[in-house]
Chains A and B, each alone.
Chain A
């Protein structure tokens, strides 16, 4: 077994210490080491956004970051989006608008949408489409995803 490195990070507001190999991506660390499988692998090249998490509030493809690079940073993943038993407004709106079919892209979309609403609380449709362009969905044609994000913004604003 290759040498493992200690990484101290914060995931969904909890301090986490973990061991990983330097060659493991942050996506692999989340999934294979921490079994936080809510973050999905779609392409491993940063082209589909299924593995989107927030690093210090910015959306990042966790497949294009090494686990060791997480040292000292704050990570947010889909597992931390709801607060206790209460869903984030985006999660609720995705359900109400039937914004998911297979659901594999949903965690990534939700994290990208959260980054957007944290930055621009009342985005236009064009802004929503621009900010979600790094996330591919093959099921929905995006229509119901865009509606859900706009509705979540409307409700929170």
Chain B
């Protein structure tokens, strides 16, 4: 690996200062579970590695029934799935966080890092999209908020500008009678990257669906919000016909590729299977809420 400088700022101001000063040659590190691999492979060669885990704003997890969840970008996955409040309110996000690599990875990797890595196959991103999460960025010119579905612009690239830092993810409180779920397909039972991952959050009033959001991973160059499929569910009776319709619309929106993890044809097929399964799982949970 090339030579690097390591900085561990303890405040947001310091961190933004360092990142702004070094621009493209600096990169924040949270869990490091993607960055170190990329640096070893020579894919990314930042000269300044800025450890953001010592900044309180990036590591907190705070839930308020009125305003929702503020999820620090650097909070490790283990603190998400070990958090009983999150398990109750955001079971889909929790199951996504519990799927990234092994437990060893989950001890270090963060949801914010998963998003900033910009992979189309990130497990937590479809779950965040389903929940309508917004990313709060702070940079030298102040702060801004970006919807998660607009965060990744191409494989490995995000909206983050030089000097900017993802501070936290803002997730609305779950409405009554709602729930989320995340299901991915992998060839083994653990330790794989999603061939396809689907996140869904739905609200049911009796047998009618009043709100729905579906996020899709590994089906396009970036994680997607399945807008048509989601809208098609809203205001309809939530039954097999509606689910199938949503699944077909999700398949239509997917534009997957052939790679070592699956063929495009197989991926499109999985979008249908997993959209059905994820909606059913979310609905089963919503009926209990």
State in angstroms the CA–CA spacing of A66 and B40 once bound together.
12
A21 touches B3 (CB 8 A): yes
With A49-B104, A112-B104, A134-B105: A64-B6 Cβ-Cβ less than 8 Å: no
Closest CB of chain A to B70's CB: distance in Å?
A: 23
B103 touches A5 (CB 8 A): no
State in angstroms the CA–CA spacing of A21 and B108 once bound together.
21
With A22-B5, A64-B108, A69-B51: A134-B103 Cβ-Cβ less than 8 Å: yes
State in angstroms the CA–CA spacing of A135 and B78 once bound together.
17
B37 touches A134 (CB 8 A): no
A22 touches B105 (CB 8 A): no
Q: Considering the complex, give the chain A residue whose CB is closest to the CB of B48.
A: A22
A45 at interface, CB cutoff 8 A: yes
State in angstroms the CA–CA spacing of A133 and B189 once bound together.
9
With A47-B191, A69-B32: A112-B103 Cβ-Cβ less than 8 Å: yes
B271 at interface, CB cutoff 8 A: no
**Chain B residues near A (Cβ < 8 Å):** 1-6, 8, 29, 31-33, 36-37, 39-40, 49, 51, 53, 78, 101-105, 107-108, 189-191
A88 at interface, CB cutoff 8 A: no
B103 touches A131 (CB 8 A): yes
Which of B49, B53, B104, B189 contacts A60 (CB under 8 A)? B104
Q: Kindly list chain A residues whose C-beta atoms are within 8 Å of the C-beta of B78.
A: 58
State in angstroms the CA–CA spacing of A115 and B3 once bound together.
33
Task: Please list 28 pairs of residues, one from A and one from B, whose beta carbons are closer than 8 Å in the complex, sorted by A's number.
Answer: A5-B6, A23-B39, A44-B37, A44-B40, A45-B37, A46-B33, A46-B101, A46-B102, A47-B101, A47-B191, A49-B102, A58-B107, A59-B107, A61-B105, A61-B108, A65-B108, A66-B6, A66-B29, A68-B8, A69-B29, A115-B103, A131-B103, A133-B103, A133-B189, A133-B190, A134-B101, A134-B104, A134-B191
A25 at interface, CB cutoff 8 A: yes
Known: A55-B107, A65-B108, A115-B103. 11 other contacts (CB 8 A): A23-B4, A45-B37, A59-B107, A60-B107, A60-B108, A65-B32, A66-B6, A66-B49, A133-B189, A134-B101, A134-B104
A39 at interface, CB cutoff 8 A: no
- What 3 A-B pairs are tightest by C-beta distance, nearest first? A134-B102, A22-B6, A133-B190
Closest CB of chain A to B252's CB: distance in Å?
A: 34
A85 at interface, CB cutoff 8 A: no
A22 touches B4 (CB 8 A): yes
Size bracket, chain A contacts: 20 to 34
Q: Kindly list chain B residues whose C-beta atoms are within 8 Å of the C-beta of A25.
A: 36
Q: Kindly list chain A residues whose C-beta atoms are within 8 Å of the C-beta of B101.
A: 46-47, 134
A52 at interface, CB cutoff 8 A: yes
Closest CB of chain A to B26's CB: distance in Å?
A: 13
Q: Could you say which of B4, B53, B103, B190 has the most chain A C-beta atoms within 10 Å of its C-beta?
A: B103
State in angstroms the CA–CA spacing of A68 and B29 once bound together.
12
Which residues between 13 and 50 of chain A lie within 8 Å of chain B, taking CB atoms? 21-23, 25, 44-47, 49
Closest CB of chain A to B80's CB: distance in Å?
A: 13
State in angstroms the CA–CA spacing of A47 and B33 once bound together.
10
Closest CB of chain A to B205's CB: distance in Å?
A: 36
Q: Kindly list chain B residues whose C-beta atoms are within 8 Å of the C-beta of A45.
A: 37
Q: Kindly list chain B residues whose C-beta atoms are within 8 Å of the C-beta of A46.
A: 33, 37, 101-102, 104-105
Q: Kindly list chain B residues whose C-beta atoms are within 8 Å of the C-beta of A44.
A: 37, 40
State in angstroms the CA–CA spacing of A55 and B32 once bound together.
15
Q: Kindly list chain B residues whose C-beta atoms are within 8 Å of the C-beta of A55.
A: 107
